[in-house]
Amino acid sequence: MLTVPRRPAALRTSARTYARAYDIRVPFVAIAGLSARLFTESASLARLNVAALDLFGDRDTRQRAKVWLDIGGAGLSVDHDKLFDALARVARLPRMLGVIAGSGLEPFARELHALPGLPRLIGNDLHAIAAVREPSRFFALLDELGIAYPDVSYTRPNDPLGWLGKHADGCGGTHIRAASESDVATRPPDYFQRIAAGRSMSALFIAAGGRAVTIGFAEQLSVVCGALPFVHAGSLGPIDLPPPVASRIDAIVHAIVAKTGLTGMNSIDFLLDGETLSVLEVNPRPSSSAALYEMASPAAWPRGLLACHIDACVKGRLPQVSVAAPQRTIAQRVAFAPHNFTVTQRVSDLLFAAPWCRDVPQPGTRIVAGEPVCTLIACAAAPARLPEALERQRARLIELIDTCHESHDDHLSTRTG
């Protein structure tokens, strides 16, 4: 058993570190990011012990993780010192395979590879990450391969209308602002990109040895959050695309992988306007859209897609993709708090028991207006039915929140405060 100290009682309940008994014969894997729940669930399909490092310590994360450590910083961010202290601690767990870095760890890529005493990073090396995350290198690569993308500028456009400012190490849309708003950002954008037409889509793929297997396609869901116009809120899929489009994306994935050496689970974001597509970026890490494919086709991924990621990174082995089409389409969407409230035991229990809810907050968690409460899940035979299903789930959640009887005007600490 890992011995972990408690945080001071004055801090939030959900921030206390946590550990429980585990079978020492079963390998451990560490999963770190803003939220570790999704890949903790996937790792449990492979019957791995999990050390989860994230901001929330939600109930379903702790249900499956053998160890949970808080790495939350100011607001909804990862704290540098907490992260590397937690990694050094879990590195001592028995049969530790390594750490899988999720969203939110992009700014720490170099240290994750270079610092001694940490678990092995199961994912891309620095060369592959730089090839797709350094804007000048990535867009030059797309030019070389003849792959279309929206116009890019490395200096502020004279007329910023219709342009976005982006950071290269961001995630979840929190690194994107209107170019006209970039002057008020905490640091200047790394590049500017012209807004283009099309549905926001992604393709999940697994790579090894310069080859790749495309797992499927999903539509991305986003919301406006203050000055942030495209905050990632979820995804919907798997989506059936016209065969010529699917083949084109598959060819793009293979070409990029062959040139960059990407390994393991990655995703590519693109805009689809009719049958015209333009690439936005590649995320060189496991994507939350993996849950869509696991839920839609559980028989195709009995050990979970995280096991496929580990096989690709450690053994250089690509998965066998089932030709059977999924019988349903899944939507997952983050629900944000309409006002300040504290999660009661009753609300937490009801959400934990609900099949349409994930990332369930602990009783006593204080959440302020605009922060994530949980993730809503909807299933349907046809994608067109999913928005209505999600709205029904959201209405149920609001009803439950309103039973908390928390004053909307009370000053409460943030969930990760």
- State the Cα–Cα distance between residues 317 and 91, nearest whole angstrom: 25
Which among 77, 104, 122 is the end of a domain? Answer: 122
Q: pLDDT digits over 9-26, tens only? A: 333 333 456 777 878 889
Q: Both 145 and 187 in a single domain?
A: yes
Which among 98, 122, 146 is the end of a domain? Answer: 122
Give the β-pairing of 96-101 and 28-32.
parallel
User: For the range 112-120, what are the long-range contacts, defined as Cβ-Cβ under 8 Å and sequence gap of 24 or more?
Assistant: 112/87, 115/84, 117/88, 117/91, 118/84, 118/87, 118/88, 118/91, 119/30, 119/87, 119/90, 119/91
Query: Hey, what are 236's tokens?
Result: 């919907």
Residue 4 domain-assigned (yes or no): no
- Sort 273 into a burial class: Cβ within 10 Å, 0-12 / 13-18 / 19+: exposed
Q: Place 413 in a pLDDT band, splitting at 50, 70 and 90.
A: very low
Residue 408 clears pLDDT 50, i.e. is over it: no
Instruction: Give the largest CA-CA distance in the chain.
Output: 62
Q: Place 175 in a pLDDT band, splitting at 50, 70 and 90.
A: confident
Q: Both 52 and 148 in a single domain?
A: no
- State the Cα–Cα distance between residues 31 and 100, nearest whole angstrom: 5
Which among 122, 156, 174 is the end of a domain? Answer: 122
Query: Hey, what are 148's tokens?
Result: 């279309």
Collapsed DSSP state (helix, strand, coil) of residue 217: strand
What range does the domain containing 356 cover?
329-404
The CA R_g of the chain, rounded to the nearest whole Å, is 21
Give me the pLDDT at residue 283, please: 96
Q: Both 234 and 167 in a single domain?
A: yes
CB distance 94 to 25 below 8 Å: no
Residue 177 clears pLDDT 60, i.e. is over it: yes
Residue 415 domain-assigned (yes or no): no
Q: Both 255 and 335 in a single domain?
A: no
Residue 266 clears pLDDT 80, i.e. is over it: yes
Give me the pLDDT at residue 236, please: 95
Give me the pLDDT at residue 229, please: 76
Question: Can you tell me the mean pLDDT for 91-110?
Answer: 95
Residue 288 domain-assigned (yes or no): yes
Collapsed DSSP state (helix, strand, coil) of residue 221: strand
Question: Can you tell me the mean pLDDT for 214-233?
Answer: 86
Alpha carbon of 234 to those of 35, 179, 205: distances in Å? 13, 24, 18
pTM above 0.75? yes
Residue 5 domain-assigned (yes or no): no
In percent, how much of the chain has pLDDT > 90? 76
Residue 3 clears pLDDT 50, i.e. is over it: no
